[in-house]
Amino acid sequence: MIGEVFFIPIQGRTQTKPHPHVVVAEPQPDDFLLVPAFSEEGPEVKKLFDALYQMGYSPDHIYVGLDNADRVDFVNGWTGKEARWVIARAHRLPRKVILRNRRIGTMDSTGLRRICAELLALSKARPQEFPATVRNAIKTTLDGVV
């Protein structure tokens, strides 16, 4: 499942609509770490970034900008555009919950490597938010991306 992209509705915080999420790591069997994406111009992204700044996140630990048209092999007519993969909002979901949502593509190794590298940097800057199992799972993904 690592690298697969799903369209998942996440309610709460500043997000209210479904967004693409890439599966980046498996900290425990059948438990996955995902990173959501937001369009650059979306109103939700401004609210989200404002909230993250207020929570003390530094700008370089909030998102990874990628052109999804280049980094994601979409299925079922989805198209890509510039997006911000918000590593500061990485979250865990069980496999069964992920699979209830629509798979929309697969991220290439370049995109996955960039997201995992920045996520690992964030985990070092804010270790209280990343248990050792999560940090190790991110490292495992990063080491395994060709």
CATH architecture, domain 4-144: Roll (2.30)
Average pLDDT over every residue of 38-51: 81
Please check whether residue 89 is in contact with residue 35, taking contact to mean a CB–CB distance below 8 angstroms: yes
pTM: 0.92
Residue 2 CB contacts under 8 Å (≥ 6 apart), including other chains: 23, 24, 25, 26, 112, 141, 144
Would the pLDDT of 15 be above 60? Answer: no
Chain segment 48-84, per-residue pLDDT in tens: 888 899 999 988 899 999 999 999 999 988 888 999 9
What average pLDDT does the chain have? 91
Would the pLDDT of 16 be above 70? Answer: no
CA–CA gap between residue 105 and residue 133 (Å, rounded)? 26
Residue-wise DSSP of 91-104: EEEEHHHHTTSEEE
